[in-house]
Amino acid sequence: MIIAVDGPSGSGKSSTARGVATKLGLRYLDTGAMYRAVTWSALEHGLDLDDTAAVAARACALVLSVSTDPQRAQFAADGTDVTEAIRDPRISASVSKIATNLDVRKELIRRQREIIEQSQPTGGAVVEGRDIATVVAPQAELKVLLTADQDARMARRKAELADAVTAEQLRDQIVRRDADDATVSQFLVASDGAVEIDSTHLSLEEVVDVICRLAKEAEAAPRDQES
């Protein structure tokens, strides 16, 4: 089973997808981390992020190791563990430049599909990002658009960063980033066949439970039609 979870920044995609994967015994793929790792690598190499050809060449050359264990997020870029470095505000501020580079997207989507394919023998994966249901895995058995209103998303991110960001940085990470990212992916409205879950007034556990229930229904649906 493939479960696609898309949505805007701070809506709870990563925490929810990890929780669902753990509960259902599936792999977990954080596609945003892959865009972050390319950003980290491009900056390490001193590239001008506006030089789209050079950045795309870096993305293609990058040896990227991605853990799909929902209990143990780990990412390595050219042999360096970047699990923590890719969460740095410096990366969050620049990552949209990389994510709106269409040649980078082409390369990362190719890799994401490979990782998804590799998860099939062990039961599948929960894959989260911005374009999973629409582009990366439109064949997903369950497609979720996870939303929350802007104030809730900003408050969650502020709490997560232990108030270590200014109001301006917070707005940049949530509002500006979504506006830029939405120019290349459709994650603000539910695509065909996707279920929208507004998590504004739901706890993380409640959202995980709703998705697990929908997954069980989706899994049972073809069997119901056969009988």
Ligand X SMILES: Nc1ncnc2c1ncn2[C@@H]1O[C@H](COP(=O)(O)OP(=O)(O)OP(=O)(O)O)[C@@H](O)[C@H]1O
Binding-site sequence positions: 7-15
In this complex, which beta carbon is closest to ligand LCLUPRNS, that of residue 80 or of residue 186? 186
| Interface with ligand X in residues 85-114 (CB under 6 A) | none
Strand (E) positions, 51-194?
Answer: 64-66, 75-77, 80-81, 125-129, 142-147
Cβ neighbours of residue 160 closer than 8 Å, sequence gap 6 or more: none
1 CB burial (10 A radius; 0-12, 13-18, 19+): middle
CB atoms within 10 A of CB 40: 24
In this complex, which beta carbon is closest to ligand LCLUPRNS, that of residue 99 or of residue 125? 99
Q: Report, in Å, the least distance between residue 221 CB and ligand X.
A: 26
Q: Which residues bind ligand LCLUPRNS (CB under 6 A)?
A: 9, 31-33, 35-36, 95-96, 99, 129-131, 177, 181, 185
Q: Which stretch binds ligand X (CB under 6 A): 14-22, 52-60, 73-81, 185-193?
A: 14-22
Contact indicator for 66, 28 with CB cutoff of 8 Å: no
Q: What is the DSSP letter of 188?
A: S
The DSSP bridge partners found for residue 126 are 3, 28
Q: How many angstroms separate the CA atoms of 110 and 144, rounded?
A: 21
Q: Report, in Å, the least distance between residue 40 CB and ligand LCLUPRNS.
A: 11
| Member of 74, 120, 166, 203 binding ligand X (CB under 6 A) | 203
The residue number whose beta carbon is nearest to ligand X equals 12
Among ligand LCLUPRNS, ligand X, none, partner that 27 touches (CB below 5 to 8 angstroms by kind): none
Is residue 36 close enough to count as binding ligand X by CB under 6 A?
Answer: no
Is residue 11 close enough to count as binding ligand X by CB under 6 A?
Answer: yes
Collapsing DSSP to helix, strand or coil, 227 comes out as coil
| Member of 76, 204, 210, 212 binding ligand X (CB under 6 A) | 204
Q: How many angstroms separate the CA atoms of 73 and 85, rounded?
A: 13
Q: Report, in Å, the least distance between residue 23 CB and ligand LCLUPRNS.
A: 21
Cβ neighbours of residue 217 closer than 8 Å, sequence gap 6 or more: none
Is residue 9 close enough to count as binding ligand X by CB under 6 A?
Answer: yes
Give the residue ranges of the annotated binding site for ATP: 7-15
Whose CA is closest to 144, among 130, 164, 161, 160? 130
| Member of 160, 166, 193, 213 binding ligand X (CB under 6 A) | 160
Residues that bind ligand X (CB under 6 A): 7, 9-16, 32, 156-157, 160, 199, 202-204, 207
